[in-house]
Structure formats: C-alpha cells, structure tokens
Chains A and B, each alone.
Chain A
C-alpha cells in the first residue's frame, strides 16, 4: 500500500468519524469537532502504518460510545440543574403535564365502562380545577412581562371561573368555559353530537387538545434540555389549539344551546386565550402557554 492510498483511506475514515461526532452534544462538537477529526486522522494514519486498522476501529468505536455517553450525561445533568434554576420552564412543564393528565382522566372517566362514580367524577373535576388554578396563578407571576392588560384580565377571568368551579355544582356554569379548555368537556361534544360532520369536529377538538398538550410538553422538554428550536412546535400547538377553540365554540352554539352566560363565558375565554397566544407568539417569548 503506497502513501497516497493510505492517505485516501484515512480521509474516508476521517469523514466517517466526522459523522459519528453527532453523538456528542452540539456545544462540545462545535468546540472540539474539527480538532477531534484532525487528531483522529493522524492516529488512524499511524494505525495504518502499524497494520492494526481493524483493532483501531474497535477501540475508536468503544471510545466514542463511552465518551459521548459520558458527555451527554454530564451535559444533561448541567441542563437539569439549569432547568431547576429556570422556574419558567419547570412551570411550563408542570402545566403541560397537568393538561396531559386531564386528557387521560377525560378518556378514563368518561368512557362507556364508567369506572368511577358520579361523585368521584365531581371530585376529579374539582381537583383538576384547583390544579389548573394554581398553574394559572403561577403563570400570572410570569406573564406580565409578555402580555398586556387584556391578556392578564382574560387569565384572571379564567381563574375566577376555576375558583367557582372548585366550589361545587353551583360553580359549574362558570366552569364550563375552562372545562372546555382543559378538554374535560371535549368528550361530551363527541358523545352528544348527532353524528356525521359534528362527530368529526368533536374528534378534531379532542385530537387538537392532545396535540397541543404534546407540543407544549415537547417545548418544555426541549427548553429544559437547552434546545430552543422547540418554538415551532409550540406555534403549531397554538395554531391547533386556536382552531379547536373555535371549533368547540361553534359546535357548542350550533348543537345544543346552553345558558347564555356559559356561552358568553366560553367566547370570552377563547378570546382571552387567543390574545395570550398571539402576544406570546409575537413576543417570541420564553414563557409559552399552550
């Protein structure tokens, strides 16, 4: 094997190694990637001279897996500490988790097999309302930086509805809007829909909430891991959620007329959340509600 042949092989090996660097965290790769490829090339050339290329690749692969995993774990630990310090992302994650739990509750509680009693259902609804109320209070602490007076007012209105809702049956009318928002009422749309396009609309609503929650959780996770690219998923979540709010209000108005107050409340809630969503969207903020 002549020198040029050896160099060509090393060049190919270095290009392959360069691709493997994807296993390291991005910051590490950016800082040391070029140097690592250069050192690998020299070391590989040396291994070729000594005719131990196969053994060299075994060792290099082992080294890559071990060191990349260690670096990922170390960086993950640092980001977890950062996330702990950054209460906003924790808060956001908490809210997203509550939403997901509520959707699951909705599926389990409202299923045809009816695994819980009506009283237990009421308790679950009230507990959920209190949990979201706490979430909203915490959000209020952070939102002023990103929303105007109307946005805050909308959130306070929702909060009031939740407080009424948590008080018992008499608060249910006030709570209708927020129960829609948290998907607790979405399944009812499906159950009472006469069929055809309305059922499809109800399914869109349930699916939309689910997607919005997943995307909001994905954002929270990506923000905690340090990758801010999660933003586009949040925007998608907002888009879907906004579409679903509209669909839900329309289906509510068209399918089964309810008390005027709850309808108005639904509309106000939707407008409030549209404003919050729009503000956050425009501000490209780090605090996002989904």
Chain B
C-alpha cells in the first residue's frame, strides 16, 4: 500500500522537484544552497530559477515529501529566519520509486536503441 503510494507520488514529480529531492537526500539545505546544488548537479542542462525552486518546495511540502528543519536567525531588512529543508521518510520512498521508474525506462530505451536502431556500444 505504502509502496504504491510512493510510486504514485514519485511519478508525479517534475524534473525540478526530482532534482530538489536528490539534493536534499544528501543533507539539509536552505533555499540558495538547494539552488546552487541543483544548478551544479544538472551541469548547465537547465537553470533552476527562484520561482521554480520555491514552487517545487511548496509542492514538496504539501505532499509531505520534505519538511522545514532548523531555522537560522539572520539579520537583514526582513528579519525573516533562514529556513533549512530536509527530506522526509515519505520523500525518500518517493525518490526511490522515481529512481526505479527511471532506471527501468533507461534499460528499456537502451534495449530499443540496440535492437531497433542498431546502436553498438563502445
């Protein structure tokens, strides 16, 4: 039942959400930390903007895949604390389900490339 739910949540992940989850799987991070890590992770394939980042965070929080961790008090004009986000157990399950799905897809794509397109490795 739980794995089916994780699979369902995994398949609903957008590329930005998946990247945010992958980064948070490595440890707790604040907004800019997530953004820098994701942009480094994708190696210029796409740039995660501020709006997309916080939309993804908003959706992941709503799905219960991440949660707010510690908050750092920092001094600036808003006096808003800096929030750190971390992945939840549900988030780990959804991430695993999504990785399995992608793994399966890649294996199938490689098979099609070899048999139908005559691609030779190496």
Residue in contact with B52 in the complex, picked from A31, A38, A67, CB distance below 8 Å: A67
Instruction: Give Cα A250 to B35, complex, Å.
Output: 69
Given A34-B78, A35-B80, A39-B32, A59 contacting B51 (CB threshold 8 A): no
Question: Do A64 and B51 touch (CB < 8 A)?
Answer: yes
Size range of the chain A interface in the assembly = 20 to 34
Instruction: Give Cα A221 to B74, complex, Å.
Output: 41
- Chain A: which residue is nearest B56 at the CB level? A67
Residue pairs across A and B with CB atoms within 8 Å: the count is 60
Question: Do B51 and A68 touch (CB < 8 A)?
Answer: yes
Question: Do A67 and B51 touch (CB < 8 A)?
Answer: yes
Residue B47 at the chain A interface, CB threshold 8 Å: yes
Describe A's contact surface by its main secondary structure.
helix
Residue A284 at the chain B interface, CB threshold 8 Å: no
Residue in contact with A37 in the complex, picked from B35, B55, B78, CB distance below 8 Å: B78
Residues in chain B near residue A70, CB distance under 8 A: 55
- Chain A: which residue is nearest B74 at the CB level? A38
- Chain B: which residue is nearest A68 at the CB level? B51
A66 to chain B, nearest CB (A): 7
Residue A6 at the chain B interface, CB threshold 8 Å: no
| Nearest 10 pairs of A and B residues by beta carbon | A63-B49, A67-B51, A34-B80, A34-B78, A39-B31, A32-B54, A42-B32, A63-B51, A39-B32, A67-B55
Beyond the given A39-B35, A64-B49, A68-B51, could you list 11 further A-B residue pairs with CB under 8 A, ordered by the A residue number?
A17-B50, A24-B51, A32-B58, A34-B80, A37-B78, A38-B82, A39-B54, A42-B32, A43-B32, A66-B52, A71-B58
| Contacts from B to A (Cβ < 8 Å) | 31-32, 35, 47, 49-55, 57-58, 76, 78, 80, 82-83
| Contacts from A to B (Cβ < 8 Å) | 17, 24, 28, 31-32, 34-40, 42-43, 59-60, 62-64, 66-68, 70-71
